[in-house]
Amino acid sequence: MSHQTGISASPQLLDLFSKSKDGSVRLIQVLISDELLVPGIQSPPQGSWEDDYDVSVLPLLSRQPCYLLYRLDSTNNQGPQWILIAWMPENCTIRQKMLYAATRATLKTEFGGGHILEELSASEKEDASLHGYRQHLASAAAPAPLSAAEIELQKMKIDEINTDVTMDTKRPTLQGVAFPIEDPALEAMRNLKEGKIQYVQLRLDIDRELVTLVCARQIEVGSLPEQVPTDSPSWNFFLYKHSHLGQTEESLVFIYSMPGSKCSIKERMLYSSCKGAFICDVEQQVGLQIARKVEVDNGSELTPDFLYSELHPARHTPRPAFDKPPGPSRSRAGQKRLVRPAPDGGQTQV
């Protein structure tokens, strides 16, 4: 049988290979001698494959290169599974390394590649030990290292798969800024959740980078417009008590007020970018359930009709299409008659 290196398995090795498939052999050492693959030391099983591993393998790792076929306790549809260890110590010659590397495929073919579960190359005893074999398995199971460009491309593919876009989907183009919320503001919102108060007003302290409390009180819906400041931005929570379809409801409305012409660009940017993170913090920390979020230029827009229409938008029922009226009935119009002129200039009915 001709191969790349011209080296084939000896009859003794082929006979040993056929006998080893019955589970009576734990380890087979294979050497290259006189242009042939020949058997070296063999050892039978004494315990489990893990107990026998270091005891059988490590004594054979000498200054001479070799192949080691080690049988595991697991099987597949072809029989017992084996580990192929290519032992190449650092002190062996370049010719030996090249010869054993080029003959490795021949050994696998003669033994049967379907029986070999794992392949391990080692030049140090630690790499060929049981600990080294387990590290080899862990390294093989780990994901391949990726460059920065490959990581970014992988993230883009995952985002494409997990993207769920509808007509109502809103995604921020910039990541929001999160300012901490002061304890008095959190306490006021807890009182709002429990129904002790109806209105809470908050503002951003830009210098201290905090969300602070402006006021928290019990008010009626009619006095809501005058609570919202007209010269500075604010975040407002109002517990709107109203009647809908004959039932009394309490709906929490978040009001973002931004008097555009009277606010600086910095204020507009900060209030806008902090709003999303702030609402998430409030919902998670306090447990507020916001029924509706609205944005206004000034408090005069916050009438009861406006709040009600935001919470319960009017449903537009489709108008029926114009139906063409039926034509006159033949029974009422009578039978059609043919009229033709008479010879004397009169008319004759037929």
- Report which DSSP code applies to 232: S
CA distance 300 to 305: 12
Task: With 0.85 as the threshold, say if the pTM is over it.
Answer: no
CA distance 99 to 72: 27
pLDDT of residue 215: 94
Residue 161 in this model has a pLDDT that exceeds 60: yes
Residue 320 in this model has a pLDDT that exceeds 70: no
Residue 342 in this model has a pLDDT that exceeds 80: no
Q: Averaged over 38-66, what is the pLDDT?
A: 93
pLDDT of residue 4: 61
pLDDT tens, 281-303? 999 989 999 999 999 998 899 99
pLDDT tens, 75-126? 988 889 999 999 999 888 999 999 999 999 999 999 988 899 999 999 999 9
The residue with greater pLDDT, 240 or 156, is 240
pLDDT of residue 41: 93
pLDDT of residue 349: 55
Residue 25 in this model has a pLDDT that exceeds 90: yes
10 Å CB burial of residue 281 (0-12, 13-18, 19+) is: middle
Residue 309 in this model has a pLDDT that exceeds 50: yes
Beta bridge partners of 238: 199, 253
pLDDT tens, 210-235? 999 999 999 999 999 999 998 899 99
Residue 1 in this model has a pLDDT that exceeds 50: no
CA distance 225 to 302: 6
Q: Is the dihedral of CA 20, 21, 22, 23 positive or negative?
A: positive
Residue 10 in this model has a pLDDT that exceeds 80: yes
Average pLDDT, the chain: 85
Start-end of H helices in the chain? 11-20, 49-57, 94-111, 125-128, 130-141, 148-162, 183-193, 224-227, 265-285, 304-311, 330-333
10 Å CB burial of residue 163 (0-12, 13-18, 19+) is: exposed
CA distance 26 to 11: 20
Q: Averaged over 165-179, what is the pLDDT?
A: 60
Instruction: Tally Cβ neighbours within 10 Å of residue 128.
Output: 26
